[in-house]
Amino acid sequence: MNIIGPGMRTLAMLAFTTLALAGPVAAAPLRDMLGREVALRAPPQRIVSLVPSVTEIVYALGGEARLAGRTDYCDFPPAARLKPSVGGMVGPSLETIVTLRADLVIATTEGNRQETVEQLRRLGIPVYLVAVQRWAEVKDVVGRVGELTGRTEAVEPLLARLEARVARVARAVAPFPRPRVLYVLWPEPLIVPGRHAVITELIELAGGRSITAGDAETYPRLSLEAAVAKAPEVIVLADHGGDESGAHTAQIQEKWKRLRSLPAVKSGRLHSVDGGLLHRYGPRIVDGLEQLARAIHPEAFR
């Protein structure tokens, strides 16, 4: 597979120079979340994050001094926008990554292309892959990012705060029955969380039962007819932000309200939550969990 054509030689030379200045190879092997060995010449000092969730974790741990670059989508906290951007998640600029003298790139199996990982590997730039499908893996990522940024001492206090909030949610919803929940990640086509999506577990933690939890795909498409047949008692629409998001969410809500036979519509249990919180697995995912729990069990938080 060709990488980028005419500029390849220049990129390779820059990458080689970057690695040559990094020092001797570290003895202890490092493995990412896929079990791949990541060869580092020294603890990384210039990290490029291709994952908005990871960027948020870096700042939450106070490790931003080692963050050399980020994507256009790494927009939280606001200070992250001051870091140089390498472009989008799907097609980041390899030349910019090399120019930034990155000694480690953090990527994800969801959102980044395998081709990008291979291109960086051929340029001699180590890539550390993260993958999250469960709440336990959210905590795992926090620990791993703490190690990579030299902020291991900040990991335990951050996780303790997050786990305490999750436990409070679980206690609040425990006395109530678990309604059938339809979570709409994307309205057209209708995309929902399947068995291996972290949102499915968050719905459980929030006191609900996802009607699409049995689907083997992580984010399957669902026909409207199938959604109606499952008779959800609560419908939660993900708001994806943007200047016109409020109007767009209202439009989607109106479409669902026309389905008057649905138990969720009959009882007025059609809600929207901030998808930017629930679809990223940084510390703010607990904010999203709290929103989700209030949508599913408002009676638990009066």
Global pTM reads 0.85
Q: Does the residue 162 lie in any domain?
A: no
Beta strands 209-210 and 180-184: pairing type? parallel
Residues 146, 10: one domain? yes
Task: Say if CB 199 and CB 274 are below 8 A apart.
Answer: no
Residues 147, 189: one domain? no
Residue 184 clears pLDDT 90, i.e. is over it: yes
Specify the DSSP class assigned to residue 299: G
Please give the Cα distance from 92 to 88 (Å, whole number).
Answer: 5
Task: Say if CB 206 and CB 293 are below 8 A apart.
Answer: yes
Residues 29, 144: one domain? yes
Residues 118, 188: one domain? no
Query: How many residues make up the chain in this entry?
Result: 302
Structural domain containing residue 228:
175-296
Residue 16 clears pLDDT 80, i.e. is over it: no
pLDDT digits (tens, 9 = 90+) for 92-121: 999 999 999 999 999 998 889 999 999 999
Residues 13, 145: one domain? yes
Q: Which residue has the tokens 């291996």?
A: 196
- Helix then strand count (H, E) for the chain reads 12, 10
Contacts of 256 (CB under 8 A, 6+ apart): 235, 237, 262, 264, 265, 270
Q: Does the residue 170 lie in any domain?
A: no
Residues 189, 258: one domain? yes
Q: Does the residue 242 lie in any domain?
A: yes
Q: Does the residue 264 lie in any domain?
A: yes
Q: What is the mean pLDDT of residues 77-81?
A: 96
SS3 at position 140? helix
Q: What is the mean pLDDT of residues 1-23?
A: 46
Specify the DSSP class assigned to residue 26: P
Residues 208, 273: one domain? yes
Contacts of 122 (CB under 8 A, 6+ apart): 3
Buried b (16+ CB within 10 A) or exposed e, 104-123: bbbbbeeebeeebbebbeeb
Token pair belonging to 26: 């570290």
Residues 28, 124: one domain? yes
Residues 190, 81: one domain? no
Instruction: Give percent of the chain above pLDDT 70.
Output: 88
Please give the Cα distance from 301 to 290 (Å, whole number).
Answer: 10
Provide the pLDDT for residue 62. Answer: 97
Provide the pLDDT for residue 20. Answer: 45
Provide the pLDDT for residue 246. Answer: 61
The CA angle 60-46-57, to the nearest 5 degrees, is: 15
Residues 135, 208: one domain? no
CA dihedral 27, 32, 38, 43 (to 10 degrees): -60
Task: Give the CATH number, domain containing residue 202.
Answer: 3.40.50.1980
Task: Say if CB 232 and CB 181 are below 8 A apart.
Answer: yes
Residue 67 clears pLDDT 80, i.e. is over it: yes
Q: Does the residue 159 lie in any domain?
A: no
Q: Does the residue 199 lie in any domain?
A: yes
> 129 forms bridges with which residues in the sheet?
107
Residues 112, 219: one domain? no
Please give the Cα distance from 248 to 227 (Å, whole number).
Answer: 21
Q: Does the residue 72 lie in any domain?
A: yes
In order, the DSSP letters of 73-114 are T---SGGGGGSPB---SSS--HHHHHHTT-SEEEEETTTS-H
- Nearest residue to 86 via CA among 56, 107, 57: 107
- Domain boundary (120, 152, 184) is at 152
Q: Does the residue 166 lie in any domain?
A: no
Provide the pLDDT for residue 1. Answer: 36
Residues 123, 216: one domain? no
Residue 247 clears pLDDT 90, i.e. is over it: no
Burial grade of 282 (CB within 10 A; 0-12, 13-18, 19 or more) = buried
Whether the bond into 6 is cis, omega within 30 of 0 = no
- Quickly count: other Cβ atoms within 10 Å of residue 299's Cβ: 11
Residue 56 clears pLDDT 70, i.e. is over it: yes
Q: How many domains does the chain have?
A: 2
Please give the Cα distance from 103 to 64 (Å, whole number).
Answer: 15
Residue 244 clears pLDDT 90, i.e. is over it: no
